[in-house]
Amino acid sequence: MQTLTDEQVQSVKNYAAAMRREIIKMITEAQSGHPGGSLSIADVVALLYDVEMNASPQDPHNPDRDRLVLSKGHAAPAIYAALALKGYFPIAELGGLRKIGRLLQGHPDMKHIPGIDMSTGSLGQGVSASCGIAIAGKLDHKDFRVFTIMGDGEQEEGQVWEAAMLAAHYKLDNLTAFLDNNGLQIDGKIDEVMCPEPLPDKWRAFGWHVIEVNGHDVQELHQAVCEAKTIKGKPTMIIMHTVKGKGVPEMENQAGWHGKAPSAEQCAIFLSELEGEQ
């Protein structure tokens, strides 16, 4: 099944739109967090939880479930919104993001937050953990899949390439990585701070199957995930060309919105813009 039905596409789009509104609201409420990179991965996260992943809020620790490791852990609001909207925990918890004594930590915490498969936040570490999960799946002859989402700035971490070598060496074809190639990191454009390009060539050279997609096109993303399932003997890297801050015109392609919270006034404007887009 390479093509989603119109109904499926609309469902994912509605889910992603709802996630984007929750992302803006929770970061505004927290007055802290990372909106730009959360908005840029909203579509792929929506697709994964809505269509691709065998995972259920009723049984978040099922050993046979598919896993999602958010290696770019600062985009936690995207995952939190996705999990809350699917019923992993009450939506009201989103208002407690980054607040003391509450559930939702600044970066994903697997020990306390239902649906979080790995604690992440320090860049480069999630992809190694994904490899470990994938190896465990192979050892146990389980057919669950491991998904991991990385940032393009994250590609500057040496550990990413240690893990890239290992995943190819051990033929981890149950591992599919997404690279959120929005072109921006905290200090500016990735090719001006420390250019990691050409990313497709690098991942191919490290022994991965590489697919490039528009990271906001649900149908293209789905086809890439389907293609990854057919690739045997090597892991797949889906490089997603994305727009940082996608969905909020004032935030789009602005490095300044990497780790800044909107004011209450901005929040109202951004939410109306997101309503309009839907």
Partner 1 sequence: MAKATRDAYGEALAELGAVNNDIVVLDADLSASTKTNVFKKAFPDRHFNVGIAEQDLIGVAAGLAATGKIPFASSFAVFATGRAFEQIRNSVCYPRLNVKIAATHAGITVGEDGATHQANEDVAIMRSLPNMSVVVPADAAETKAIIKWAAAYDGPVYIRMGRSKVPDIFDDSYQYTFGKGIVLQDGVDVTLIAMGIMVAKAQEAAKQLEKEGISAAVVNMSTIKPIDAAMITAYAKKTGAVVTCEEHTIMGGLGSAVAEVLGECCPVPLTRVGMNDVFGESGTPDELLVKFGLTAEHIVQAAKAVIARK
By the criterion CB under 8 A, which residues form the site for partner 1? 63, 69, 109-111, 117-122, 124-125, 127-137, 139-140, 158-159, 162-163, 165-166, 169-170
Say if residues 85 and 19 touch (Cβ distance below 8 Å).
Answer: yes
Cα separation, 250 vs 214, in Å, equals 21
Q: How far is the CB of 158 from partner 1 (least distance, A)?
A: 7
Instruction: Name which of 68 and 255 has its Cβ closer to partner 1.
Output: 68
Instruction: Name which of 166 and 225 has its Cβ closer to partner 1.
Output: 166
Q: How far is the CB of 98 from partner 1 (least distance, A)?
A: 16
Instruction: Name which of 158 and 276 has its Cβ closer to partner 1.
Output: 158
Residue closest to 259 by CA, chosen among 194, 187, 193, 178: 187
Instruction: Name which of 130 and 182 has its Cβ closer to partner 1.
Output: 130
Residue closest to 24 by CA, chosen among 277, 219, 247: 247
E strand residue ranges, the chain: 67-70, 146-151, 175-181, 184-185, 188-189, 209-214, 236-241
Instruction: Name which of 24 and 172 has its Cβ closer to partner 1.
Output: 172
Say if residues 251 and 270 touch (Cβ distance below 8 Å).
Answer: yes
Q: How far is the CB of 46 from partner 1 (least distance, A)?
A: 24
Residues facing 189 on adjacent strands: 184
Q: How far is the CB of 165 from partner 1 (least distance, A)?
A: 7
Residue closest to 154 by CA, chosen among 119, 199, 116: 199
